[in-house]
């Protein structure tokens, strides 16, 4: 490798071994870590500089084998093999509590001739379970030096950097897997024919089945055994069995466990947390605490933010020169952005609790627990990862379906995940719940918290119901089973998770803020100007909101939305929110600020007192329920649509998803309003 070229290394290991934590520690990045499989579903890269050497670290998706069974493992295998000439070596992460599982992939990579640095993470967790590992014997048996780490505490990170600096990547002297005698001659001839430098690459080519079309002609020439003995899946099973036999021999000599070791807290907690009845009760109780906190803890910071933006709107309105610029800033941009920023505390609190649950190891139990519940609906336990992730954002949630092996289950999960209540829906829910639900409590729990939890559960139930229907129309690729290791419970990194949350909240504010800024300017322009009574002439002067271009557009779609209980302003909000759901709140904030000369009055109070020409409240209980249901089901996020298309590579399924969700949203909202009005 040239001296002036950045050194590139791969970070590799099984899912849930602390690989992303090591990546964050090396590169000082804020990639999300989670204590369940499937967090990293695409390669991520980061850089660090150590003793004047710049190194690029590529964090590949976790995998159990070089033979992919899911989309994320396919990304891993392709990069590992195809890019072999471009990287200096592999930093392989083993977890001390799952050595046997991790050594399978380690030996496969070794036999490919890839130079490696071996890291054993979380040895302290093994010791707590009474498991002792003879590091020296282990190192000698594998023929490679081991680095011990505790990545969350930054222990061993400098040793990894030092090993990379000194090019401490080691190639195996010999293959750990011996080709079975019945295939040996053919493998040797195939390796020579393809110019491969070791037999295992030829064996892997056969086991993957990627070159079988070319191999058929070679077999005829070489008069090899019939093709039944060369079925890729059988070769993979044969290799796995032999490798595990070899791994068992190694571990028997290096691992010792204390007899009758005291049961740890993990085992005690799991008797309740994964119980077939109490497990669900505890999960619902945890959700209830989270949603109560979303309203209770966020109350004061939300009030401060509202007061700040109200003051800012009044200040700009008073000190800027009279005219369009004054109106644009004080009645358009400031209220619009303030309408989104005010919900940052609620989003932050929700995300923080979710991160703590992931970090602690509890979310892995939720995956296990939900497998039993999701199976009848055509999904499996791994589907809960994108479904739960969807409560933050549907975009990474859809990408995380790559961890699902079965194609039908993956497609079903992609199609129903957008029903989950994402953080973009939270501002809409919060403002509507605040308008139509009283401040009372039930058993000490706020009515608003109960309704918000109900909206989250509604999204989950509709996702299940939709999957149950769709599974009848999507061909099944075979029965699947959930096999997973439950990690030990760990103390969450409260400070690190808080930094992660602050970064995510800032991303939300800046991302939504850019959209709101543009939308606010457009809405202000359309609301500030309007046509003359003579339709052939136009004026460039301020008009009343009801006579503006915006009102003209909104009233044009009013016949379509009036059966749902919406007026033209809500119609404009729904149209603009097709870009992103949270834009609805910013749009309403701008609209209600434009038609009111009292900037010190909160937007929610303006919305609460607004009435229709017939004297009926605009935001009545029936209308509020209709809005909640519309946003619970409607597919209003262009970015999510783009990701769905990228993951399915099908306009048919993407279009179907839009039509299904939007049609359902309109129908349910219509029925709800007509019944409740």
Percent of the chain at pLDDT > 90 equals 7
Which pLDDT does position 409 carry in this prediction? 82
The residue ranking higher by pLDDT, 570 or 35, is 570
Split at pLDDT 50, 70, 90, the class of 629 is: very high
pLDDT tens digits, one per residue of 636-659: 777 788 888 888 888 888 889 989
Q: In the structure encoding, which two tokens stand for residue 198, read together? A: 């070791």
Residues of the chain with CATH 3.40.50.300: 7-165
- According to the model, what pLDDT value does residue 478 have? 56
531 is in an annotated binding site: no
The pTM score is 0.64
16 in a known ligand binding site: yes
Q: pLDDT at residue 536 above 70?
A: no
- Asked if residue 61 belongs to a known ligand binding site, the reply is yes
Classify domain 7-165 at the CATH topology level: Rossmann fold (3.40.50)
Burial annotation 145-176 (CB, 10 A radius, 16+ → b, else e): ebbbbbbbeeebbebbbebbeeebbbebeebb
Measuring CA to CA, how many Å separate 657 from each of 401, 419, 472, 570, 576?
Answer: 16, 11, 16, 24, 20
DSSP 8-state code for residue 144: S
CB 283 within 8 A of CB 460: no
Does the annotation flag 636 for ligand binding?
no
188 carries a ligand binding annotation = no
Q: Between residues 488 and 308, which one has the greater pLDDT?
A: 308
Is residue 596 marked as binding?
no
Helices (H), 529-582: 549-561, 568-576
Is position 24 annotated in a ligand binding site?
yes
497 is in an annotated binding site: no
* pLDDT tens digits along 555-611: 888 888 889 988 888 888 888 888 778 778 877 887 777 665 555 567 777 888 888
Answer yes or no: is 321 a known binding residue: no
Considering all CA atoms of the chain, what is the largest pairwise distance in Å, rounded to the nearest integer?
Answer: 94
Q: Is 25 annotated among the ligand-binding residues?
A: yes
Q: Is 18 annotated as a binding-site member? A: yes
Task: Confirm whether residue 331 is marked as ligand binding.
Answer: no
Nearest alpha carbon to residue 57 among 25, 30, 23:
23
Closest CA to 331 of 606, 590, 605, 601: 590
Q: What is d(CA 596, CA 587) in angstroms, rounded to the nearest whole number?
A: 14
- 307 among the known binding-site residues? no
The reply to whether 407 sits in an annotated binding site is: no
The tens digit of pLDDT for each residue in 157-206 reads 889 999 998 888 888 878 888 888 877 777 777 777 777 777 787 787 77
Q: Out of 54-58, 73-77, 490-494, give the one with best mean pLDDT.
A: 54-58
Give the pLDDT confidence of 385-397 residue by residue, as tens digits: 778 777 767 777 7
- The share of the chain scoring above pLDDT 70, in percent, equals 84
Q: Which of 352, 348, 342, 315 is nearest to 330 (CA)?
A: 315
Q: Residue 211: what pLDDT?
A: 45
Class of residue 322 by CB neighbours under 10 A (exposed 0-12, middle 13-18, buried 19+): exposed
Kindly state the average pLDDT of the residues 29-50. Answer: 61
Tell me if 14 is assigned to a ligand binding site.
yes
Quick one: which H or E segment has residue 420?
none
- List all residues 6 or more positions away from 369 whose beta carbon is below 8 Å from its beta carbon: 273, 274, 279, 280, 283, 381
What pLDDT shows up at residue 4? 46
Residue 673 confidence (pLDDT): 93
Residue 60 in marked binding region: yes
């Amino acid at each position: 490798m040239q001296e002036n070229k950045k050194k590139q290394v791969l970070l590799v290991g099984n899912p849930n071994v602390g690989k992303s934590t090591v990546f964050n520690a090396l590169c000082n990045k804020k990639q999300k870590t989670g204590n369940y499989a499937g967090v990293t579903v695409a390669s991520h890269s980061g850089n660090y500089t150590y003793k004047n050497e710049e190194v690029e670290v590529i964090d590949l998706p976790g995998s159990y084998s070089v033979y992919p069974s899911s989309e994320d493992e396919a990304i891993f295998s392709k990069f590992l093999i195809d890019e072999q000439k471009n990287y200096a070596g592999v930093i392989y992460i083993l977890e001390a509590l799952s050595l046997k599982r991790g050594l399978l992939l380690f030996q496969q990579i070794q036999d490919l001739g890839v130079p490696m640095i071996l890291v054993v993470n979380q040895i302290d967790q093994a010791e707590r379970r009474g498991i002792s590992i003879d590091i020296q014997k282990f190192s000698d048996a594998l023929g490679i030096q081991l680095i011990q780490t505790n990545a969350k505490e930054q222990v061993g990170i400098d040793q990894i950097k030092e090993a990379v600096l000194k090019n401490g990547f080691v190639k195996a002297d010999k293959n750990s897997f011996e080709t079975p005698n019945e295939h040996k001659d053919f493998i040797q001839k195939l390796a020579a024919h393809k110019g491969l430098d070791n037999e295992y690459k030829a064996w892997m080519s056969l086991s993957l089945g990627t070159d079988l079309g070319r191999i058929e002609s070679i077999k005829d020439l070489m008069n090899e055994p019939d093709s039944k003995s060369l079925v890729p899946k059988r070769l993979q099973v044969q290799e796995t069995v032999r490798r595990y036999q070899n791994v068992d021999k190694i571990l028997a000599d290096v691992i010792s466990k204390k007899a009758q070791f005291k049961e740890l807290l993990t085992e005690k907690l799991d008797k309740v947390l994964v119980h077939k009845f109490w497990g669900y009760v505890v999960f619902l109780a945890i959700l209830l605490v989270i949603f109560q906190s979303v309203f209770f803890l966020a109350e004061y910071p939300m009030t401060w933010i509202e007061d700040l933006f109200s003051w800012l709107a009044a200040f700009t309105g008073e000190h800027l020169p009279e005219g369009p610029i004054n109106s644009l800033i004080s009645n358009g941009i400031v209220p619009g952005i303030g309408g989104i920023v005010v919900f940052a505390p609620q989003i932050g609190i929700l995300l923080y609790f979710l991160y703590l649950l992931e970090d602690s190891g509890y979310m892995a139990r939720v995956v296990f627990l939900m497998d039993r519940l999701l199976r009848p609906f055509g999904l499996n336990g791994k589907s809960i990862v994108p479904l739960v992730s969807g409560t933050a954002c549907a975009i990474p949630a859809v990408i995380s379906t790559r961890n699902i092996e079965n194609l039908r289950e993956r497609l079903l999960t992609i199609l129903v995940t957008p029903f989950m209540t994402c953080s973009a829906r939270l501002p809409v829910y919060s403002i509507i719940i605040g308008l139509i639900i009283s401040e009372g409590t039930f058993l000490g729990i706020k009515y608003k918290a109960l309704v918000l939890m109900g909206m989250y559960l509604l999204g989950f139930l509709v996702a299940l119901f939709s999957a149950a229907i769709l599974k009848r129309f999507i061909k099944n690729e075979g029965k699947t089973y959930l096999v997973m290791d439950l990690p030990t419970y760990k103390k969450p990194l409260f400070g690190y998770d808080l930094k992660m949350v602050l970064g995510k909240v800032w991303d939300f504010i800046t991302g939504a803020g850019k959209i709101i800024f543009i939308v606010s300017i457009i809405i202000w322009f359309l609301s500030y100007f309007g046509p003359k009574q003579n339709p052939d002439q136009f004026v460039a002067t301020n008009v009343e909101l009801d006579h503006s271009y915006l009102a003209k557009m909104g009233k044009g779609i009013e016949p379509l939305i009036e059966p749902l209980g919406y007026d033209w302003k809500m119609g404009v909000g729904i149209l603009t929110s097709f870009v992103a759901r949270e834009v609805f709140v910013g749009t309403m904030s701008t609209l209600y600020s434009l038609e009111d000369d009292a900037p010190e009055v909160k937007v929610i109070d303006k919305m609460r007192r607004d009435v229709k020409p017939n004297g009926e409240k605009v935001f009545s209980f029936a209308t509020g329920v209709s809005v909640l249901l519309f946003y619970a089901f409607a597919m209003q996020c262009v970015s999510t649509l783009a990701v769905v298309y990228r993951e399915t590579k099908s306009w048919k399924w993407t279009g179907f998803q839009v039509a299904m969700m939007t049609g359902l949203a309109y129908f349910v909202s219509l029925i709800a309003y007509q019944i409740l009005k």
